[in-house]
Structure 1
Amino acid sequence: MIEIIAISGSLRAASTNSALVAALAVNAPENCRIEVYDGLGRLPIFNPDDEGERTPPEAAWLIEAVTRADGVIVSCPEYAHGVPGGLKNALDWLVSRDAAVGKPAMLVHASPRSLYARAALSEIMRTMSFALYEEAALEIALLGKKPAEIKAILAEGANREAMREAVRSFAGFIGDER
């Protein structure tokens, strides 16, 4: 079984990115289990003085979850042409750890307009030594949709298959990276 942790970079209750990672978990192929991380808003602001024995419990949980996972999927909105602070903060907690080094990661997108955030997040994750999988891009346009519309779009057969295929392809990449 391939274990994947999925992180939405949004804290909004009606987040399209959170809806997308939740749908990925539901539609994962049989050989994959996707755990959706929902602790982004509970993470304290990263401070290098709080590492080691002083690592806060929520940060320690994230570090352990990423370390334990075979791969990471991130779906991220764009705020002011950049990566939201909450997601960047989560990544900062991983910087001085081995959790990210060589860890397969894939970015998925709920908006075709988040080009600056995509580029910035790719750069951040490469710098952290994630093994970024870029062969198959999954983008399901959910921006501006109401929750009922999002649910219907994510339930469409073609989108469910696209999600399964993206995760299946990513799982193959994970296997190659092991």
Structure 2
Amino acid sequence: MKFLAISGSARRASTNTAMLYALQSAAGPAHTLSVYDRVGELPVFSPDLESPEPPSEVAALAKAIADADGLILASPEYIRSIPGGLKNAIDWLVSRNEVIGKPIVLAHASHRGDDMLQQLRTVLATLSERFNEQLFLRLHLMKLSPEEIAEHVSAPRHQEEMRHFLEAFARYCSPA
């Protein structure tokens, strides 16, 4: 099963991005997981830029989505809302075919952010009928240093939790 994990953070030292890379490392041989950590590099959405060809950064993201069996999104909360970079990425995808019917789940690297998560759930349920609200991974990494994050996610219980999450998502992505 091939997953694409999209980080909604433009921050280089993002805990959500670090969590996605940890998830990538935890993936067993049956799963591959690529991390897209470049939402900050996408141009600001404009319908005028969609045709005839979108900007190359958008085309690359769309191809990565098309090639994936499922999407995992992880995002910080900014002012109790979806960060602008992630919302911009979603805006680029909303009128494209790559995301329609694509299985999507959420992961989150903080003990807080529930307001943003609720907004994101609403947006993703609109974007794809295959958004699974119940399948959710949450690791408490907020305010940890990169070294502390590495130690935290390498703990056996977190490795097992991440593997179970990926296995459950793979079952969800599998054709019925």
Q: Quick check: 1:142 aligned with 2:118?
A: no
Q: Quick check: 1:153 aligned with 2:152?
A: yes
Shift of 1:176: 4.0
**Structure 2 alignment gaps of length 5 or more:** none
TM-score, normalised to structure 1's length?
Answer: 0.95
Alignment of 1:2-151 (within 5 A): 2-151=1-150
Q: Does structure 2 conserve the Cα–Cα contact (< 8 Å) formed by 1:102 and 1:129?
A: yes
Amino acid aligned to 2:144: K
SS at match of 1:158: helix
Q: Give the RMSD, CA atoms, in angstroms.
A: 1.2
**Structure 1 alignment gaps of length 5 or more:** none
Q: How many residues align?
A: 176
Per-residue Cα deviation, 1:46-103 (whole angstroms, up to 9, x for no partner):
1011113231000011111112211000111000010000001111111101111110
Q: Matches of 2:154 and 2:93 in 1, distance apart? A: 33
- Would the alpha carbon gap of residues 130 and 63 (structure 1) be closer, same or farther in structure 2, given more than 3 Å must change? farther
Q: Does structure 2 conserve the Cα–Cα contact (< 8 Å) formed by 1:27 and 1:160?
A: yes
SS at match of 1:54: coil
Q: Quick check: 1:172 aligned with 2:171?
A: yes
Q: Does structure 2 conserve the Cα–Cα contact (< 8 Å) formed by 1:29 and 1:168?
A: no
Amino acid aligned to 1:77: P
Q: Does structure 1 conserve the Cα–Cα contact (< 8 Å) formed by 2:8 and 2:37?
A: no
